[in-house]
Amino acid sequence: MDRSSPATLGENPGPELSIIIPARNEEANLGACLESLNAQTGVDFEIIVIDDASTDRTREIALSFPRVQVISPEPLSADLLSAGRTPNQRTGKNNALIAGTQHARAPRLLFTDADTIHQPGSLGRALHEATREQADLLSYSPQQVVVTFAERAVMPVVFAELAVRYPPHKVRDQDSGIVAANGQYILVRRAAYEAVGGHAAVATEILEDVALARLFRDAGQRVYFRYGGDAVRTRMYRNWAQLREGWTKNLALLFPQSEFLIYESLALWLVAWSSLAIAVAGAVTQHFTWILSAVFPLLVYRRIRAAHFETANNLIAMLFGLPIFAYLLRRSTNAYRNGQVFWKGRKYDVSPAPTNAPAGIRTAKPIPEPESQKLRTEN
């Protein structure tokens, strides 16, 4: 619900954009995110940071920016790891986002994560693009910054597979049945957001971004999704432990046909290495027909290149990332079968991820599907 008061004659009508940032123990990221947002020009905006029970310097950092409003959401009933979670309980991020929208005053809302960096002028361009495309929900997939070996090996594979299963051009096709969004950057028209129930309607969803996009699509609202490296970048995980926990939480939901994809990834990796070895042997022994086997690793590389990473990272991913991805997907599948996933010190009791239905929305408690349109799948 819009908690702002209607502007009376002569009053400041308020900002045109409310930026809502959920933050739980984000001291390593939040400062750079807020600096990049405060530097934006050409847009009248407000920034709302929701400090989600952080135990580090997150709140202190947010308060150091004079233009930033810092709020705290209502506490979750199972906030501690040992307390568990009931199947109908809000996730921590959804709980924070719901609180943020209650304080927002603008007709457009931008939900963005604390680990994002926004390119100069990107807010104005995004608003213009949303207007031009008549988008009720516009979402960018950020440029992914990778540093460690694990990030460089795994992230290109994950995002390449996402590009295969959720091609942005099909997501933009309102009749394709494929819908996706990236929760790191979701810009919505507030009236449309409230009409579908907002994050309160997907409060129990682990993949709240896809669930929200599905609500928009099912209500006849326009969803516009693309790679947005020109607007925003992010480093999702800073070490192996974070990467493993994060993708364990998400992969089985993003890729419901997990068993097939696990074996497909391992097969691609084995054949790529074998073909590469045959091609090298052919070059050394002058069996030039053997060199043709290099075509297969080139095809694997081409598949990974779709994820918009640099060449060196694509090569690392092709050579080493596929089996790591298969391991993480197996780990995620097992976690959902066992009924529990963990994220940022919280334990979520979840239902098994779907194996046949193509829907990427899954969670602790599924949203009811409209009788007229069952979920077909997505990110």
Residue 365 has pLDDT above 90, yes or no: no
Q: Is 263 helix (H, G, I), strand (E, B) or coil?
A: helix
Pick from 117, 80, 126, 75: nearest CA to 96: 75
Residue 225: what pLDDT? Answer: 98
Pick from 190, 192, 217: nearest CA to 101: 190
Residue 368: what pLDDT? Answer: 33
Question: In whole angstroms, how far apart are CA 327 and each of 180, 253, 334?
Answer: 24, 15, 11
Q: How confident is the model at residue 126 (pLDDT cuts 50, 70, 90)?
A: very high
Domains contained in the chain, CATH given: 17-142+182-238 (3.90.550.10), 254-349 (no CATH)
Per-residue pLDDT of 301-328, as tens digits, reads 999 999 999 999 999 999 999 999 999 9
C-beta neighbour count of 134 within 10 angstroms: 9
Distance CA 17, CA 43 (A): 8
- Return mean pLDDT, the chain: 87
Residue 205 has pLDDT above 90, yes or no: yes
Per-residue pLDDT of 153-191, as tens digits, reads 999 999 999 999 999 999 999 999 999 999 999 999 999
Asked if residue 353 lies in contact with residue 343, where contact means CB atoms within 8 angstroms, the answer is no
Residue 290 has pLDDT above 50, yes or no: yes
Residue 18 has pLDDT above 70, yes or no: yes
Residue 11: what pLDDT? Answer: 57
Dihedral sign for Cα 212, 214, 215, 220, please. Answer: positive
Residue 360 has pLDDT above 80, yes or no: no
DSSP string, 6-44: PPPTTS----SEEEEEEESS-TTTHHHHHHHHHT--S--
Per-residue pLDDT of 219-272, as tens digits, reads 999 999 999 999 999 999 999 999 999 999 999 999 988 999 999 999 999 988
* Minimum mean pLDDT range among 17-21, 48-52, 344-348: 344-348
- Write down the pTM of the prediction: 0.86
Asked if residue 336 lies in contact with residue 348, where contact means CB atoms within 8 angstroms, the answer is no
Q: How confident is the model at residue 276 (pLDDT cuts 50, 70, 90)?
A: confident
**Residue 3: exposure state from Cβ atoms within 10 A (0-12, 13-18, ≥19):** exposed
DSSP string, 289-349: HHHGGGHHHHHHHHHHHTT---HHHHHHIIIIIHHHHHHHHHHHHHHHHHTEEEETTEEEE
Alpha helices in the chain (DSSP H): 30-38, 58-63, 92-103, 122-132, 149-165, 168-172, 190-195, 208-218, 240-254, 258-285, 288-291, 295-305, 311-316, 322-338
